[in-house]
Chains A and B, each alone.
Chain A
Amino acid sequence: MDQNVDITLTVNGQQVSRRIPARTSLVDFVRYELELTGSHVGCEHGVCGACTIRVDGQIVRGCLTLAAQADGAVVETIEGRSDSGEIADLQQAFHERNAVQCGFCTPGMLLTAEELLAKNPKPSRDEIREFISGNYCRCTGYQAIVDAIERVATERNG
C-alpha cells in the first residue's frame, strides 16, 4: 500500500496541501514542511508537552498526532496564536515574571495556559499547576510560570 498521503489543511489561517509520508507527525510536518519551528520536539512520546499544537481549537500533542489525521482540520501553532495578538498578555507576563529561561517549553506552556484560561478564567494556583502538569519545564521550577498565568487571569478579570 501507498505509504504517502495527500493532505489539505488550514495552518494559521492559510490553506496548505502536501503529499507526505503517512508516518509524519503533525509537529514534524509544521516544522519541516512549513518551517514553523516554534513548536518543539522533545520526548516524542507525549510526556513533555513541548510539541503542543492546536487542532480545531483544542491543544494536542504534536508528536502523538499524525499530520494525516489533521487532513481537513484547522491547525494553529504558536506562530499563529502569537500573530493573532490574543496571547500578548500571557507572553508579556511570561517575560516580565521571568517564566522563560531557555524557552524550549514556552510555546507549549503558552498554548496550554491559553486553553486553561479559556475554560477556567479564574483558576486557583493548584488548578494552574494541575493544568500545566503535562508540560515539562526544566529551568524555572514552575513557580514563575504559575505566577505569570495567575497574573494574567487576575488582569483579564479586571
Chain B
Amino acid sequence: MKPAPFAYVRAETLEQVFALLDQHGDDARILAGGQSLMATLNMRLSAPTVLIDITGLSDLAHISTDGTTLRIGALARHNQVMESAEVRELAPLISAAMPHVAHHAIRNRGTFGGSIAFADPAAELPAVARALNASLVLQSHTGTRTVHANDFFLGLFETALEPGEVLVGAEIPAIADGERTAFMELARRHGDYAIVGLAVQGRLDGDSFADMRLSFFGAGDRPMLAENAAAALNGRANKEATLKAAQDALDDDLDPMADLNGPAEMKMHLARVLTKRALAQFAA
C-alpha cells in the first residue's frame, strides 16, 4: 500500500525540529532512517500530516568515547555501528547483536536511535540497551535530560519521550574487566524480527555467576529485564540446578504475547531453551 499524504521537511537544526514539533504536535512524526516508520506508513497503521526528516543533522551521527562511556549518536546507521571498532571494544554486546538487526540494505539506512525510539518489543537494540544499563539522552527546546533504559521503555511502542522531545543519543558504560556477554535469538529467517531472543551481560567469579543482566526481546510488551532469573544465578555455581532455577524464574519475569509465531506458552518454552543456550555461550 501507499502512505496517506503528508508534508515533508528536511530539518537543518534541532531548533527547527523543536519548533515544528511545537507547531504540529501529534500530527508530526520524526523521520530518521525510516526503516520501521515507512513500513507503518505504507500499511497506514499511522498517518502523520508532517514528516520531519532529521537525517541531515550530521552531528547526531557520531560514535565517540572517553574510555569509560561510549556515546552513540541517534543517527548512527546500523552498519556504521556494526563496523565500529570502538563499539566492538567497549560494548561487544552491541556488536554481537547488530548482525541480527534486519538485513544489510536496511542496516545501511536504519539508525541506532530510531530503533530505540520506535521501541518495538521484538527488536534487538532496546533489549541490548537494558542489558547494558544504557542511558538515553533526550533533548527538547527546554533542555536535555538523561533517562536510564530501565525507565525509558514504558509499554508497547511506548517510551518516556515527552511531546516535543527528541532522542539524540545513547550513553553506554564501557564493558568492565571480567564482564562477559552472550547474545542469541530465534527468528524464522535470519534478520527478521525475533520470535524471542536475549542479551546477557555479567561476570563469572570463579565458577559463580555475578552481576547478571538478562534482557529479553519478543517476550513482553517491552524489552524485559529478567530480574528473578538473574537473582537465581547471582552467587551460584554454573551447574544444572542453577540453570534450572533461572529457567523456572522466567515465569515471573516474562510476559510474552501470542502472535503469528505462536502462543505465549511456546514463547515461554523458547525463552527457557534460549536462556540455557545463551548461558552456555556466556560461560564458554
Contacts and interface: CB of A to CB of B under 8 A. Distances in A.
Interface of A: 1-3, 5, 21-23, 25, 28, 44-47, 49, 52, 58-61, 63-66, 68-69, 71, 112, 115-116, 129-131, 133-135
B51 A65 contact: no
Interface string B1-44: 11111111110000000000000000000010011001101110
Main SS class of interface, B: loop
B105 A52 contact: yes
B26 to A, nearest CB: 15
Contacts of B4: 23
Interface string B93-126: 0000001001111101100000000000000000
A49 B34 contact: no
Interface residues on B, range: 35 or more
- Closest 4 pairs between A and B when the two form their complex, measured CB to CB: A134-B103, A1-B7, A22-B8, A45-B39
20 contacts: A2-B7, A3-B6, A21-B5, A22-B5, A22-B7, A23-B3, A44-B2, A47-B192, A60-B109, A65-B109, A66-B8, A68-B8, A68-B10, A112-B105, A129-B190, A130-B99, A130-B190, A130-B191, A133-B189, A134-B102
B135 interface: no
B140 interface: no
Most chain B CB within a 10 A radius of its CB, from A21, A44, A45, A130: A45
B49 interface: yes
Contact of A58 (B42, B50, B99, B108): B108
A134 B106 contact: yes
Nearest to B108: A58
A155 to B, nearest CB: 22
Most chain B CB within a 10 A radius of its CB, from A3, A44, A69: A69
Given A45-B43, A64-B38, A133 B190 contact: yes
Contacts of A45: 39, 42-43
B46 to A, nearest CB: 13
A5 B9 CA distance: 9
Contacts of B108: 58-60
Contacts of B192: 47
Main SS class of interface, A: mixed
Contacts of A131: 104
Contact of B103 (A1, A66, A69, A133): A133
Contact of A59 (B38, B51, B104): B104
A47 B186 CA distance: 17
Most chain B CB within a 10 A radius of its CB, from A5, A66, A112, A135: A66
Contacts of B6: 3, 22-23
B53 interface: yes
Nearest to B79: A58
B53 A3 contact: no
B162 to A, nearest CB: 24
A69 B55 contact: yes
A86 B109 CA distance: 24
Nearest to B7: A1
Contacts of A134: 102-106, 191
A87 to B, nearest CB: 16
Contact of A69 (B5, B7, B41, B53): B53
B7 A3 contact: yes
Interface in B232-273: none
A76 B109 CA distance: 16
Contact of B8 (A5, A25, A46, A63): A5
Given A130-B99, A133-B191, A135-B103, 18 more contacts: A25-B42, A44-B42, A46-B38, A46-B39, A49-B103, A52-B105, A59-B104, A61-B105, A61-B106, A64-B42, A65-B34, A65-B38, A66-B51, A68-B8, A68-B10, A71-B10, A116-B104, A130-B191
